[in-house]
């Protein structure tokens, strides 16, 4: 530690090395803002090295104090164990299912994340997917661009958004933003969540199957963890019924994807709007072929503006760590 409190010398980049940060796979912020990030940090790019990952980690074992990670990049027990100097993982995601938090807790490794930075953007996409699925915007685009309209084809009617009963699964910051937006469209909001929220008057269901049975649309906004993996299973899908719509902006694996595909094909649910999938970037071919499904490439979280704010947050967290100051957006690792 130097007189400015830095754990590594970095105030004069010509004389002193920048703090090293390990990157296992390129995060989306790299595509647009790598130059800016690289002005302050030296990134060790595991994916760019000819060495197998374990060997790469062993080679840099003692110099890596921080990892920069993202939503679909696993940070496993093995990775953490191979890095004895590791003190921080910064992820550009709000979701944390890809990081072994238990090992972080055990080792005393801090974690910083995007918190609620993306909530409004994700809520916009959830509502967009719902309106598209109900009013058939993408299907209408296909109908026009494929010349079917000009050929006197028949385009089926959509359904009204206002007055619809919408069940939000997970009333965290994204779910609350979705609720706010849909209230202004005249929807009736119901929800399920780990706990009943005193801040809202929406009807609460502790059981997601009962929620599904009592609404016309389910919007999945919760995090993926051991309790929510495949929570939207056959029983819940069937409870949604033949007019039920499923919108997912959480994580793909919250839904039993195979079962959802089967229900869509057999008409046991009416349709879906999906930004996330179980095995990204692979999307089941059956989903691609269905015209009652709207697909989006896990982009709900990213707008130009939010990526800009994200870079500042990532740099702020790394700078705080290397200056021994409190992190800007720490994850509280409960016992
Ligand atoms: O999906 C992305 C995230 O968790 O931020």
Instruction: Pick the atom of ligand 1 nearest to 298's CA.
Output: 1
**Per-chain mean pLDDT for the chain:** 94
Question: Is the separation of the CB atoms in 181 and 168 below 8 Å?
Answer: no
Structure tokens at 229: 């993996």
pLDDT digit string, tens, across residues 242-290: 999 999 999 999 999 999 999 999 999 999 999 999 999 999 999 999 9
pLDDT of residue 302: 87
Ligand 1 site, residue 301, Cβ cutoff 6 A: yes
Q: Active-site positions?
A: 251, 280, 298
pLDDT of residue 4: 41
Give the separation between CA 279 and CA 261, rounded to whole angstroms.
14
Closest CA to 275 of 236, 305, 246, 318: 246
Q: Which residue has the tokens 């953490």?
A: 80
Q: How far is the CA of 93 from the centre of ligand 1 (A)?
A: 4
Residue located nearest, by CA, to atom 5 of ligand 1: 93
- Our measurement of the distance from residue 229's CA atom to the centroid of its chain's CA atoms, rounded to an integer in Å, reads 14
pLDDT of residue 14: 59
Give the separation between CA 266 and CA 107, rounded to whole angstroms.
49
Ligand 1 site, residue 118, Cβ cutoff 6 A: yes
Angle of helix 119-135 relative to helix 173-184, nearest 10 degrees, comes to: 50
Q: How many C-beta atoms surround the C-beta of residue 54 within 10 A?
A: 11
Q: How far is the CA of 129 from the centre of ligand 1 (A)?
A: 17
Q: How far is the CA of 96 from the centre of ligand 1 (A)?
A: 8
Half-sphere exposure (CA, 13 Å, Cβ side) for 82?
16
Give the three-state DSSP class for 16: coil
pLDDT of residue 334: 77
pLDDT of residue 13: 55
Name the DSSP letter for residue 254: G
Structure tokens at 161: 């958004």
pLDDT of residue 152: 82
pTM: 0.91
Q: How far is the CA of 265 from the centre of ligand 1 (A)?
A: 28
Q: Would you say the ipTM is above 0.85?
A: yes
Q: Give CA separation, 183 vs 165, 166, 172, 174, 193, in Å.
A: 10, 10, 16, 14, 18
Give the separation between CA 298 and CA 121, rounded to whole angstroms.
12
Ligand 1 site, residue 250, Cβ cutoff 6 A: no
pLDDT of residue 266: 98
Ligand 1 site, residue 95, Cβ cutoff 6 A: yes
Residue located nearest, by CA, to atom 4 of ligand 1: 95
pLDDT of residue 17: 85
Name the DSSP letter for residue 72: T
> Which residues 6+ apart lie within 8 Å of 265 measured at CB?
286, 290
Q: How many C-beta atoms surround the C-beta of residue 221 within 10 A?
A: 28
Q: How far is the CA of 314 from the centre of ligand 1 (A)?
A: 14
Residue count (the chain): 335
Name the DSSP letter for residue 112: E
Q: Give CA separation, 227 vs 81, 120, 222, 240, in Å.
A: 26, 25, 11, 20
Give the separation between CA 304 and CA 29, rounded to whole angstroms.
10
Q: Give CA separation, 72 vs 95, 171, 285, 294, 298, in Å.
A: 9, 23, 21, 22, 10
Residue located nearest, by CA, to atom 3 of ligand 1: 93
The stretches in the chain having pLDDT less than 70 are: 1-15, 335
Instruction: Pick the atom of ligand 1 nearest to 251's CA.
Output: 1
Q: Give CA separation, 297 vs 74, 137, 276, in Å.
A: 19, 17, 7
């Amino acid at each position: 530690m130097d007189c400015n409190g830095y754990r590594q010398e970095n105030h004069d980049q010509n004389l002193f090395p920048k703090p090293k940060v390990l990157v296992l796979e390129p995060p989306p912020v790299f595509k647009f803002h790598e130059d800016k990030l690289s002005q302050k940090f030296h990134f060790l790019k595991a994916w760019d090295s000819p060495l197998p990952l374990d060997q790469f980690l062993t080679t840099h074992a003692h110099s890596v104090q921080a990892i920069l990670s993202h939503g679909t990049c696993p940070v496993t027990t093995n990775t953490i164990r191979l890095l004895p100097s590791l003190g921080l993982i910064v992820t550009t995601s709000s979701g944390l299912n890809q990081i072994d938090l238990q090992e972080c807790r055990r080792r005393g490794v801090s974690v910083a994340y995007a918190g609620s930075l993306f909530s409004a953007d994700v809520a916009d996409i959830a509502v967009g997917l719902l309106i598209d699925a109900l009013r058939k915007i993408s299907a209408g685009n296909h109908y026009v661009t494929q010349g079917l309209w000009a050929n006197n084809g028949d385009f089926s009617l959509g359904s009204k958004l206002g007055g619809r009963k919408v069940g939000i699964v997970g009333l965290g910051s994204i779910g609350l933003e979705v609720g706010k937006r849909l209230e202004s469209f005249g929807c009736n909001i119901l929800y399920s969540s780990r706990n009943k929220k005193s801040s809202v008057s929406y009807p609460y269901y502790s059981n997601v199957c009962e929620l599904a049975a009592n609404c016309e649309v389910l919007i999945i906004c919760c995090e993926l963890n051991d309790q929510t993996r495949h929570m939207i299973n056959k029983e819940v899908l069937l409870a949604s019924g033949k007019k039920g719509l499923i919108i997912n902006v959480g994580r793909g694996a919250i839904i039993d994807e195979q079962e959802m595909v089967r229900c869509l094909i057999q008409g046991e649910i009416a349709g879906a709007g999906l930004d996330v999938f179980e095995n990204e970037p692979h999307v089941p071919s059956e989903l691609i072929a269905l015209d009652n499904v709207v697909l989006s490439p896990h982009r709900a979280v990213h707008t130009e503006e939010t990526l800009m704010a994200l870079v500042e947050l990532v740099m702020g967290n790394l700078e705080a760590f290397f200056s021994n100051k409190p992190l800007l957006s720490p994850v509280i690792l409960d016992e």
